[in-house]
Structure 1
Amino acid sequence: MRSFPIPFNEPERLAAVQALSVSPDEEPILNEIVDMVRKELDVPTALVSIVDQDKQWFAARDGFPLCETSRDYSICSHAILRSDPLVLCDTLADPRFRDHPVVVNPPHVRFYAGAPIVLSSGLRVGSLCALDYVPREQPSASSLATLIGLSHVVARALERPGRNATNTEARQENAGRVAKSEFISLIGHELRTPLTIALGSLKLLEGTDKASSANSLFTSALKATEHLQDLVERIIEFADASTGELRLNEQVCDLTDIVASIAELKLPGADGEAKSIRRSDQETSLKARVDSDQIRLALDALVINAVQHGGSEILVGIGRDGDGNIELNVSDDGEMNDNVDLSFLDEPFVVGGSLDNRSTEGGLGLGLPLTRKLVELHGGELQISSSPGRTSAVIRLPAWREELVGSGP
């Protein structure tokens, strides 16, 4: 599993990174800023880190020999998801980072403080950070305020007029348009899907005179409608349509409750026949620190996909893999058709092609790109596999999300 989460608006964010016209160590003002950060926080290393697709590179550095590293070594990939500075007084004491490559391998970072670099477009391209190789005390409020203020100066310097300004502004404006379009397409689909389920359940309800069946279908319709209402509120609170950014509202929750609530549903398939969902596990409690609404949304999309395009037997379950990572499983006894190319799942941020051209047949509907983005935002991964008589989807979340329940950072 990768060592970093992927922002919900990663394609648009990367477009803004590519639009930057700055080279490492060539901006005097940035070099002055990292020197100020190093002195203010009394650390041996300070960096202006730009988080690119597969690497982080340093527009300015003080006390660090390399001009870039693999993104796997990037703590800044976590910092760009925050609105406030990310402060790690001792990386080995934090479940999220004690096994991080930059901690267990040279240079063995033990202290980190980084403020996100946010462009005027709202897109986050990197972090202004301070590093040390021994644990440190919490920085003062004044030092953190200085770090935040200097990160704003870095952002303005990166967008300074006169440095290929016309081309840069055009590319950033286009990135903003793409972000808004992609965001609306993905979220718009998820707004409509629960409503479709509700209407389908109610139509099934009209044609039955069996009380037990009617109660089950009515419950499904009510749950789907309530889900739509909750989703609208979550989007308003945690989303920014202008940048395509979605933030995590992380809290400790019991994931078995989410699985159990989904297993209670009875939903209509594409043929109008009602399908039931069953549990495939015996877990009684598995708590983790996640955004429970977004995990529920991601799991909903997989279940609805199975109901609409899968077989007659749908199973949902929860467990752990051999490395202790959390696994949420959805499977059915159907098979994907020949039009589905699973190799597309290996392409970053893409599932089966562009939104406009993607088919909803064969088990890969429009909901899966959103599921993948939500899972990757949690630092996890989505895996889909197909074999004769069985199609499976697994949401895999890093083990440290369960470990955070006890430490509560």
Structure 2
Amino acid sequence: MTTGLVISAPGSGVGKTTLTLALARAYRDRGLKVQCFKSGPDYIDPAFHATATGRASINLDSWAMPRALIDALAARGTDADFVLAEGAMGLFDGAPAVGVCGTGATADIAEMMGWPVLLVLDPSGQAQTAAAIAAGLRGFRAGVRIAGVVLNRVASARHEDVVRRALEGIGMAVLGALPRRAAIALPERHLGLVQAGEQPEVDSLIAEAARFVTAHVDLEAVLQSAAEIGSPLPHSSGAATPPPGQRIALARDAAFSFVYPHMLEGWRSAGAEILPFSPLADEGPDGSADVCWLPGGYPELHAGRLAANLRFQRAVRAFAETRPVHGECGGYMVLGAALTDADGERHAMTGLLGLETSFAQRRLHLGYRLAELAAPMPGYHSGARLRGHEFHYTSIVAQPDASLAVVRDATGAVVAETGSRRGHATGTFFHLIAEDR
């Protein structure tokens, strides 16, 4: 029997990721097969989940994904013993307007899947008010069930006792209480956590977090609070992700590390072959590929090296003479003319597009995007509507080429980050999640 649980909180920075990783590893150490999911568009947390469980973690997004796709992706957890879905932001936080089947809030996924919510509460500077917050969350939406609470960053035994009594007074189960401890904190970067692959010590950090949580959380009670997951739903043809080509040359290294796992799985399940190459190793796309895809990542941290790797640059330009090349966010920047790093140094990129970006002039671009293509891009025809997410701190210095799409945010307002097209090259600032059908 597979059971499922959502880890959520009143807001960000409360400790959802650390608790999710610790629980996942603790149950894995007990011999359970654990499947993690991530609610929303965050792409960094799933890599940590995979390190904790040994299984790929998948995003579930009610704003961008049709229900058929969510069901198909969630069904992969039915061969596990325990499903843990980590929420984003606060439990009910999402886009200001409904998307495909929700706002992108964690509560949407909890209600759709019937998974109870384990709340992480940080009662720092609080006592009985922590119970008031829990009570408010419990009563806010009828279809979302709160299974219990884990307290995080508790100041003392007396503090824990006061908060426990208040929560128990409203009938809220307290399944654990974690004292303050900084040793298991994970390092952060401007887009969130530093990626799992960049931290050689990440496995030991997760192991230590698991030991810490095991000592302070009732693991059996957490398991008992989860809900049974039914039989897998049949895969819907509406859930398929069309590949951009039959043989896909995919940039894949520390500078191009972000692709949603469900995208790659969709491409492979449709029969496409993925041919990875490393621009940082001065490699170019496989000559037998019929499309080249440069995903996002952190090219600004490697801009000097990418500018110096002339074999890579020549190979991508030669590829684009006859076949499509597409870049997302960081990949789009590398397809542009130049990228200025945080220190103000300008680095020449491939020049397939005229885009110039600067990290010296930081500007936050964040949110869901709905794009209507003005021209074809790999895998999609002109007029197709694509849903994705944009998150970077880049200023657009120049975007002179023809617009790839009319792009709107979640409120329907048109944004300036239209993407570009020139010849066989296309690029977008948003990361594609699903087609809007």
More strand by share: 2
Q: What TM-score do the two structures reach when normalised by structure 2?
A: 0.28
More helix by share: 1
Q: What TM-score do the two structures reach when normalised by structure 1?
A: 0.30
